[in-house]
């Protein structure tokens, strides 16, 4: 019995110790059960406490700042000074960002639109063809870029400078498919040359400037400056060129003029305008196409004064049209040369921009006599004046060539329409 009673007591003790241990562990772990709740409550409490204190301190700070300038004159002037400085820099930063966006980048921020416009006024040239007129600009010291359609089928286009003087190209290379032509001059003008810039670097709505002469020589005055914004770069699958699209309205006569950015660098050439939208052959395409321009032989004049008196008269006025003055002078007879010289003779034609020959035919019953009808386009004071003439030339054959002997040419003041088309 005692043994059984001892065993039971041991079991009871162990059971009691076990229960006590489990109870102790439960009491030990009890705070852990409430940890999430305590974490949330304590965090919320301290956050609200911190927020309230922060708001109170902020109110105190604002109140202090409002009171501080009025505590003394010294504080007041300090407040005005530093407040002005802060406002200035804040406004400058705001305006600087706007101006950078307007000019198209930090590198263009200090470019002068006024200087760019002045250069355009001094360097963009008129290009006068026989059936079309346009504009052009220097891409090298003696090379003027223009649109091909301006000088197409013209044996002697003219380049008119802003000062009113003009010259005839000595050669022409072109890419007719992309409507580009390069006029090679005998004189060099390095101060009028433009540099190219890639339109790929343009930003949307970046300001651009186009220059040209609307309606050609029909309007007098200096070059027209037109401003607009860059829209996009377009590509044609049929042509090997990219086009810069803008909202600039380019009219007839401005073809061939430059499209420049704020810094005056060329990003395109005036090509096409439709309903307030214009397309310009991009400068990148121009640089790629330029080396492959071909000699168009547009300035080649095919005349033969040895064939007949009427061919000689036609050749004479064709040389005047092309301003090939030496060739024209060589068609004067010895008798005619006895009363003039090259300088005196050429001085009569310094203002002639173009000559249009309407008729050159032999006079029946008068050997070596030719009846001729022609008009001249004279350039005076940046204004085109038209004159119309008709009459006869007596020719004489010298060394197998018919040459000018004596003229009886009269000006027609106001010719009627049938004067131009009469056979």
Q: Select the more confidently predicted residue: 127 or 81.
A: 127
CATH of the domain at 164: 2.40.10.120
Question: Taking the mean position of all CA atoms in its chain, how far away is CA 116?
Answer: 11
Task: Identify whether 42 is part of a domain.
Answer: no
User: Which of these ranges, 2-11, 54-63, 202-211, has the smallest mean pLDDT?
Assistant: 2-11
- Structural domain tally of the chain? 4
Residue 182: name the closest of 173, 191, 190 by CA.
173
Contacts of 85 (CB under 8 A, 6+ apart): none
Cβ atoms 172, 256 nearer than 8 A? no
Could you give the C-alpha distances from 275 to 39, 226, 338, in angstroms and in order?
Answer: 71, 15, 60
Provide the whole-model pTM. 0.67
Q: Is residue 47 part of a domain?
A: no
Residue 260 pLDDT class (50, 70, 90 cuts): very high
For residue range 282-302, what is the model confidence (pLDDT) as tens digits?
999 999 888 888 887 666 778
> Is residue 328 pLDDT above 80, yes or no?
yes
| pLDDT band, residue 7 (cuts 50/70/90) | low
Round to whole Å and give the CA distance between 329 and 59: 97
Stretch 145-173: mean pLDDT? 87
Q: Is 271 inside a domain boundary?
A: yes
Task: Report the distance separating Cα 280 and Cα 267, nearest Å.
Answer: 8
Adjacent-strand bridge partners of 268: 259, 282
| Best CA proximity match to 340, nearest among 352, 324, 351, 328 | 328
Give Cβ neighbours of residue 404 (< 8 Å, ≥ 6 apart). Answer: 312, 313, 316, 331, 332, 333, 336, 393, 395
Instruction: Give the residue among 347, 343, 340 at the shortest CA–CA distance from 407.
Output: 340
Whole-number mean pLDDT of the chain? Answer: 84
In a domain, 65, yes or no: no
- 155 and 15 in a single domain? The answer is no
The parent domain of residue 79 ranges over 72-103
Q: CATH code at 357?
A: 3.10.450.100
Beta bridge partners of 379: 384
The answer to whether 361 and 309 are in contact (CB under 8 A) is no
């Amino acid at each position: 019995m005692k043994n059984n009673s001892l065993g039971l007591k041991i079991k009871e003790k162990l059971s009691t110790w076990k229960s006590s241990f489990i109870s102790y562990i439960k009491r030990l772990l009890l705070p852990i059960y409430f940890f999430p709740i305590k974490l949330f409550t304590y965090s919320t409490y301290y956050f609200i406490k911190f927020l309230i204190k922060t708001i109170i301190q902020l109110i105190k700070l604002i109140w202090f700042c409002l009171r501080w300038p009025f505590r003394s004159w010294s504080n007041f002037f300090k407040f005005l000074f530093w407040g002005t400085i802060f406002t200035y820099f804040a406004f400058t930063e705001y305006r600087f960002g706007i101006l950078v966006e307007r000019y198209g980048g930090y590198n263009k921020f200090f470019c002068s639109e006024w200087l760019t416009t002045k250069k355009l006024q001094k360097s963009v040239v008129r290009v006068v063809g026989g059936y079309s007129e346009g504009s052009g600009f220097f891409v090298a010291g003696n090379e003027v870029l223009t649109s091909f359609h301006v000088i197409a089928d013209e044996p002697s286009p003219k380049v008119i400078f802003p000062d009113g003087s003009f010259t005839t190209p000595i050669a022409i290379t072109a890419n007719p498919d992309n409507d580009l032509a390069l006029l090679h001059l005998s004189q060099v003008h390095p101060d009028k040359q433009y540099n190219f810039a890639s339109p790929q670097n343009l930003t949307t709505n970046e300001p651009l400037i186009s220059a040209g002469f609307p309606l050609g020589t029909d309007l007098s005055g200096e070059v027209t400056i037109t401003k607009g914004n860059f829209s996009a770069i377009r590509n044609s699958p049929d042509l090997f060129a990219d086009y810069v699209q803008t909202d600039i309205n380019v009219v007839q006569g401005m073809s061939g003029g430059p499209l420049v950015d704020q810094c005056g660098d060329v990003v395109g050439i005036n090509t096409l305008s439709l309903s307030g939208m214009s397309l310009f052959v991009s400068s990148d395409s121009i640089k790629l196409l330029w080396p492959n321009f071909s000699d168009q032989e547009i300035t080649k004049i095919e005349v033969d004064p040895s064939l007949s008196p009427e061919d000689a008269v036609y050749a004479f006025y064709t040389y005047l049209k092309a301003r090939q003055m030496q060739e024209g002078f060589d068609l004067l007879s010895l008798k005619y040369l006895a009363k003039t010289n090259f300088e005196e003779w050429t001085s009569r034609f310094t203002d002639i921009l173009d000559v249009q020959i309407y008729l050159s035919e032999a006079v029946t019953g008068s050997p070596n006599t030719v009846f001729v009808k022609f008009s001249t386009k004279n350039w005076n004071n940046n204004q085109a004046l038209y004159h119309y003439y008709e009459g006869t030339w007596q020719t004489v054959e010298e060394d197998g060539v018919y040459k000018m002997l004596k003229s009886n040419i009269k000006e027609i003041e106001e010719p009627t329409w049938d004067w131009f088309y009469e056979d």
